[in-house]
Amino acid sequence: MAFAESDPGQAAVLAASVKILIAGGFGVGKSTMVATISEVAPLRTEETITELSAGVDDLSGVESKRTTTVALDFGRITIDDTLVLYLFGTPGQNRFWFLWDELSRGALGAVVIVDTRRLEDSFAAVDYFERRGIAFTVAVNQFDGAPTYSAAEVRDALDLDEYRPIVFCDVRERISCKTVLMALLEHLIDHTVSR
């Protein structure tokens, strides 16, 4: 729990905590985003990709990937004295998706990171949050050499509603990650007000 600082003589105020998922397909940048934006050293559950994953994990488009998240990534961001975000990065491979149900419990919203080189790998994550009614923002991670598309083209390819935010980003850059999270928070406010 996080406590906001207060004047000496005033009681400490408990800061609200918000659980946010960072999700998407294998190798889209989930762990990188959590590590980039977290104010604390992130908790990682990464393991080395070995020969045993040959034929199980599709490394197409991410051939240089050497590690993979097997449970979750965890980070924290203090927005102000009243709000703390807890970030939970999900594993990307299908065989670890059973963890998503546990990780999504209590989540206020999610960021679905997509890679335009492999948009089809994003379908399952988008579907997961739509089916569960969890508000989410799409973050298009702009990999070097990846094809570029407009927000309208990404929206059409992923069959997203018009109100769904799409943000172009580079998850290696802190300010870019901040822009994604701000878009999600604004979407959550709009989503809550419209209900």
Angle at 109 between CA 49 and CA 144, to 5 degrees: 45
pTM attached to this predicted model: 0.80
Q: Tell me which amino acid residue 95 is.
A: R
Q: How distant, in Å, are the alpha carbons of 27, 44, 45 from that of 51? A: 17, 22, 19
Tokens (6 digits) for 12: 């400490």
Tens of pLDDT, residues 82-114: 889 999 998 866 666 777 888 899 999 999 999
Share of the chain above pLDDT 90, in %: 52
Q: Domain limits of the chain? A: 3-193
Q: Are strands 16-24 and 43-48 parallel, antiparallel or unpaired?
A: unpaired
Q: What pLDDT does 1 receive? A: 46
Tens of pLDDT, residues 8-53: 555 566 778 899 999 998 889 999 999 999 998 877 666 565 555 5
Please give the class, per CATH, of domain 3-193.
alpha beta
Cβ 56 vs Cβ 70: under 8 Å: no
